[in-house]
């Protein structure tokens, strides 16, 4: 009579590992589908009111309250207040302490103002004054636009001075993105009158995705999730 050796590794172990792998695949499909659908929806939201080509606008008009309906903008000549930048960086080594100039920057925000802004007029008067003591320190009110950029790869690459830039182009992303509380607190330290409910966040060099692409992304995401969910009912795992 043939007897089973109970010490022999059972075949069900291989089946169990295979089942775990299949379960992971199903979960990944559902999560990836949800992420793709969400991303497509976000792109649709930010691009639904954007033209294919950027609209040329004056920053002084925006500062006066004339906010364009178009979210794809090219803002003309302006002053970039790089000394007021707020950025997220990757910690070096074990972390802690002040970052060095070589620390990698993930993204940065910096304010921009028009050359006609009162702050620029105060700076010009201060520079031309013979007796600086007669002038109060310039104050910045009415900040209307923050630029979000990935151009600066390290902290040391962020300029230390106010720079006159010819233009900046990008998408207004207020509908899908906002500053976190820590970023807001840091900006308030330099610009205590900033109104985050009114300031525009311009993601530079970003272009809108077409409606066809965003719809395709959402449908693809839904499809992936449905496949993952469907696999849960096929095979019983």
| pTM for this entry | 0.69
Q: What's the pLDDT band for 110 if we cut at 50, 70, 90?
A: very high
For the cut 80, the answer to whether the pLDDT of residue 55 exceeds it is yes
Mean pLDDT across the stretch 113-129?
84
For the cut 50, the answer to whether the pLDDT of residue 1 exceeds it is no
Q: What is the pLDDT of residue 59?
A: 95
Say what percent of the chain tops pLDDT 70: 70
Annotated domain spans of the chain: 15-45+213-232, 53-207
Mean pLDDT across the stretch 226-236?
70
CA-closest candidate to residue 46, choices 78, 73, 66, 80: 73
Top mean-pLDDT range of 5-14, 15-24, 145-154:
145-154
Question: What is the C-alpha to C-alpha distance for residues 231 and 224, in angstroms, rounded to an integer?
Answer: 11
Q: What's the pLDDT band for 219 if we cut at 50, 70, 90?
A: confident
Tokens of 163: 């720079």
Cα separations (Å) of 177 from 56, 65, 99? 23, 21, 26
End-to-end CA distance of the chain: 36
86-103 tens-digit pLDDT = 998 887 665 666 788 899
């Amino acid at each position: 009579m043939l007897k089973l050796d109970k010490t022999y590794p059972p075949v069900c172990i291989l089946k169990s590992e295979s089942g775990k792998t299949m379960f992971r695949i199903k979960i990944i499909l559902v999560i990836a589908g949800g992420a793709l659908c969400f991303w497509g929806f976000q792109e649709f939201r930010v691009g639904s009111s954007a033209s294919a080509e950027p609209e040329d606008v004056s920053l002084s008009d925006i500062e006066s309250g004339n906010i364009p309906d178009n979210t794809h903008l090219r803002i003309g000549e302006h002053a970039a207040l790089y000394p007021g930048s707020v950025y997220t960086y990757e910690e070096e080594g074990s972390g802690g302490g002040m970052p060095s100039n070589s620390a990698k920057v993930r993204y940065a925000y910096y304010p921009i103002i028009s050359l006609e802004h009162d702050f620029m007029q105060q700076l010009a008067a201060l520079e031309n004054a013979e007796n600086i003591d007669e002038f109060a320190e310039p104050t910045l009110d009415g900040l209307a636009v923050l630029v979000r950029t990935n151009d600066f790869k390290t902290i040391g690459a962020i300029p230390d001075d106010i720079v006159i830039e010819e233009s900046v182009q990008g998408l207004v992303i207020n509908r899908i993105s906002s500053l976190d509380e820590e970023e807001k607190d840091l900006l308030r330290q330099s610009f205590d009158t900033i109104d985050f409910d009114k300031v525009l966040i311009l993601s530079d060099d970003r272009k809108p995705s077409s409606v066809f692409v965003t719809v395709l992304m959402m449908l693809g995401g839904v499809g992936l999730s449905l496949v993952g969910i469907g696999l849960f009912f096929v095979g019983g795992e």
